[in-house]
């Protein structure tokens, strides 16, 4: 069985190693690093022999156009990170929100004591918003981006599909920041001064996972702010993703540590 990760500028990705460990090396898993202008032309040729593939930046939303059917959660979120192929039919799923929920529950003590703040508007940000709803939060804040119109559109679309309220203001209580952008990771190490205005009582969850710790984590830790990165979320969502492709065997404990 052949599987792959589709993305652009993703040579750093650990997904092949993680998926091979989960399946105990019973799968052939590769990276497909594809520029956006080549996506439509290359898709039929590249994916004809695959049993499924995972999706990362920048294709989590655009890949939906190529899926014959969508899982209800993926359709609600408006983003796909896993595509299962059966008899040539593509079905899109989203497991990012499940990986996010497990990461929060297992790695952020007293997470209900924080107000959630999502930084970014992409596919993973949409999954994180749903994750907060499933965790039981009743309101979140969205920040980041160059244009207010982008933030307003994201807030409008999220408010139309979620039961929680989505705002653009910051309450004066401890905040749980979720960085859903490449800023502070391997791709964009430079962190603008006004990128995240965190305080000493806040918690930073940087979804980037390379380098480890990420540049954003190091900046936060310099100010004694607690952090985690996206490594465990990557593993958790991969475990869920493989349930749509092949049975997940007993997981080696080393992958979770």
- For position 189, what pLDDT does the model report? 95
* Cα distance between residue 256 and residue 106, in whole Å: 11
Within a domain: 127: yes
Looking at the fold, whether 166 and 226 belong to one and the same domain comes out as yes
Within a domain: 66: yes
Looking at the fold, whether 139 and 186 belong to one and the same domain comes out as yes
* Cα distance between residue 133 and residue 127, in whole Å: 10
As a whole number, the mean pLDDT across the chain is 87
pLDDT band at 181 (very low <50, low <70, confident <90, very high): very high
- For position 12, what pLDDT does the model report? 65
Q: Which of 2, 41, 45, 60 is catalytic?
A: 60
What are the backbone angles phi and psi of residue 106, rounded to the nearest 5°? Answer: -95, -15
pLDDT single digits (tens) 131-169? 999 999 999 999 987 678 888 899 999 999 999 999 888
pTM of the model: 0.87
Within a domain: 256: no
Q: Which domain holds residue 178?
A: 97-233
For residue 48, is pLDDT > 90? no
Query: Which candidate, 121, 68, 85, 99, places its Cα nearest to that of 2?
Result: 85
pLDDT band at 246 (very low <50, low <70, confident <90, very high): very low
- For position 194, what pLDDT does the model report? 85
Spatial neighbors of 102 by CB under 8 A, at least 6 apart, are 232, 233, 236
For residue 248, is pLDDT > 50? no
Phi-psi region of 87 (alpha: psi -120 to 50; beta: other; left: phi over 0): left
Looking at the fold, whether 197 and 74 belong to one and the same domain comes out as no
pLDDT single digits (tens) 53-78? 989 889 999 999 999 999 999 999 99
Provide the number of structural domains found in the chain. Answer: 2
CATH code: domain of residue 41: 3.40.50.10860
Query: Which candidate, 94, 63, 65, places its Cα nearest to that of 77?
Result: 94
Whether residue 60 lies in the annotated active site = yes
The residue that leads in pLDDT, 18 or 221, is 221
């Amino acid at each position: 069985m052949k599987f792959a990760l589709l993305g652009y500028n993703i040579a750093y990705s650990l997904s092949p190693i993680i998926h091979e460990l989960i399946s105990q090396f019973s799968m052939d898993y590769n990276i497909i690093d594809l520029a956006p202008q080549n996506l439509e032309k290359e898709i039929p040729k590249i994916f004809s022999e695959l049993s499924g593939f995972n999706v990362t930046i920048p294709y989590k939303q655009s890949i939906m156009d190529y899926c014959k059917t969508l899982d209800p959660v993926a359709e609600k979120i408006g983003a796909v990170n896993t595509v299962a192929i059966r008899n040539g039919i593509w079905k899109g799923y989203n497991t990012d929100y499940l990986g996010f929920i497990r990461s929060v529950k297992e790695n952020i003590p007293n997470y209900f004591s924080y107000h959630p703040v999502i930084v970014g508007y992409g596919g993973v940000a949409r999954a994180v918003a749903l994750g907060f709803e499933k965790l039981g939060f009743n309101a979140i804040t969205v920040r980041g981006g160059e244009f207010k119109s982008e933030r307003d559109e994201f807030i409008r679309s999220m408010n139309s599909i979620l039961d929680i309220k989505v705002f653009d203001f910051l309450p004066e209580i401890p905040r749980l920041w979720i960085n859903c952008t490449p800023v502070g990771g391997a791709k964009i190490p430079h962190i603008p001064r006004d990128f995240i205005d965190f305080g000493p009582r806040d918690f930073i969850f940087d979804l980037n996972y390379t380098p480890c710790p990420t540049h954003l984590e190091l900046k936060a830790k310099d100010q004694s702010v607690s952090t985690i990165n996206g490594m465990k979320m990557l593993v958790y969502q991969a475990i869920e993703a493989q349930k749509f492709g092949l049975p997940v065997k007993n997981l080696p404990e080393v992958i979770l540590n």
